[in-house]
Amino acid sequence: MQEVYLREVYVADMLGIFLILGAIFSGAWKLQKKNGEDKVLLGIIILVIVACIADAITFSIDGHTGRFVKVLAYVSNNILFLSNMAIGPLWVMLISLHLNGVVSKFQRNFMLIVCSVITVLMVVNFFNPIIFDINERNVYTRGPLFMVKNLLEVILMADGVVIYLISRYRSGGVKFFPVLQFVTPIFICVCLQIFYYGISTIWVGIAVGYTSLMLSLQNENIFIDKLTGLYNRYYLDKISGELKRKRKIAMMMLDMNDFKSINDTFGHSQGDDALVSLSNVLQMSVGPDGTVVRYAGDEFVIVLDNDNEKKAESYKNLIKKNLEDFNKNHKKKYKLSASIGVGVFDLDKNSVDVILKKIDKLMYEDKRAYYEATGHDRRSRR
């Protein structure tokens, strides 16, 4: 390799590491109450640093003689190829967790199949150089199935984009994830490295994409409730314009029953714990089929991805059932229950504000029935 290329490899890998270190020291990779996403983001950080170091070693020893050098070349190249494979599943997991709160069974199986195929190819490569080879002069060369492995990795990246597009379509544009910010620099750098042999740009592209992704996700924190990790009321205001594109919409408003009593009896720390527990139950109940918003205090709004009245009513019943199950399975000082108003509305005839007033009224009708059934003193209406 010409010296100028080797110098450029070092610069690119150092830039990638510095960008990631900046994310570490700034704490930008930590999201509010997004523990699952935080773990994936930390995984990407570790992967980029390891890959950049392996990349620099790989290019440095290419063409140098010696048995140790040959072993090191195989090790470093395999680390790079496995890292290339791992970035796809991490990307799919990140976008799935962010948009849907869970990685579906189909996606887990799909990633397992694709990664298994790549792993088999890498194992076969030890005996038959179908992906890459280190020749007698310890020079790296691409094998006949090199592009096949790259295609499988591209499929994993494309899978994440498909998840985003499906989620965006189903939600009517309500759900957002900075896909282009992450994918664009990676796509450009991958193309450069594939078609211009002798340069290394993939991992600096991933580092740039990661940094852009983190900046976008940090900007989203203004719409995240710090206590529950749910979207807040500002987010509902933000997506009002997007919601108008839908002809019909199903929405719920929920209010925790006896919240004031929980605070007065057990203290505000238990009140906060109850709010977090209720938030978790709501997210679990709705899953990828809706967006949960902490509207105000102990009130929550859920925007469902469908406009079917029976389906919307079934979610109301599911939430109440899951709250009962929570009380049975968790030994808390308090008991969770909620009053719920739900309806399907024509957006040509109702603004979002009008819909909120209507489901608020339905919610208080449900609350009145709750207090009549339990015999509790009805809380004064705020």
Number of alpha carbons in the 13 Å side-chain half-sphere of residue 192: 15
CA distance 92 to 34: 16
Question: Hey, what domains does the chain have and what are their CATH numbers?
Answer: 3-223 (1.20.1070.10), 231-374 (3.30.70.270)
Contact criterion met (CB below 8 Å) for 183 and 209: yes
Answer positive or negative: Cα dihedral of 8, 14, 20, 26: negative
CA distance 83 to 225: 34
CA distance 92 to 161: 8
129 phi and psi angles, rounded to 5 deg = -65, 80
Distance of CA 226 to the CA centre of its chain: 18
Instruction: Give 80's contacts (C-beta < 8 A, 6+ positions apart).
Output: 51, 54, 55, 58
* Alpha-carbon radius of gyration of the chain: 26
pLDDT of 300: 96
3-state secondary structure of 311: helix
- Quick one: DSSP state of residue 144? T
Tokens of 283: 């997210």
* DSSP codes of every residue in 57-120: HHHHHTT--SHHHHHHHHHHHHHHHHHHHHHHHHHHHHHHHHHHSS--HHHHHHHHHHHHHHHH
The tens-digit pLDDT sequence of the chain (382 residues) is: 444 478 888 999 999 999 999 888 877 666 655 568 888 998 999 999 999 999 999 999 998 989 999 999 999 999 999 999 999 999 999 999 988 888 999 999 999 999 999 999 999 999 999 999 999 899 999 999 999 999 999 999 999 999 999 988 877 666 788 899 999 999 999 888 877 777 789 999 999 999 999 888 877 778 888 888 888 988 888 877 777 777 788 999 999 998 999 998 889 899 999 999 999 999 999 988 889 999 989 999 999 988 888 999 999 999 999 999 999 998 888 999 999 999 999 888 888 889 999 999 999 999 998 888 876 655 444 4
| Selection from 125, 150, 152 nearest residue 140 by Cα | 125
Contact criterion met (CB below 8 Å) for 250 and 308: yes
* Other beta carbons within 10 Å of 253: 27
Distance of CA 372 to the CA centre of its chain: 42
| Selection from 291, 285, 279 nearest residue 315 by Cα | 285
CA distance 100 to 97: 5
Contact criterion met (CB below 8 Å) for 190 and 84: no
Instruction: Give 305's contacts (C-beta < 8 A, 6+ positions apart).
Output: 170, 171, 172, 288, 289, 290
Tokens of 167: 């989620």
- What residues pair up with 302 in beta bridges, in sequence order? 252, 292
- Looking at the chain, the number of H-run helices and the number of E-run strands are 12, 7
64 phi and psi angles, rounded to 5 deg = -85, 145
pLDDT of 10: 92
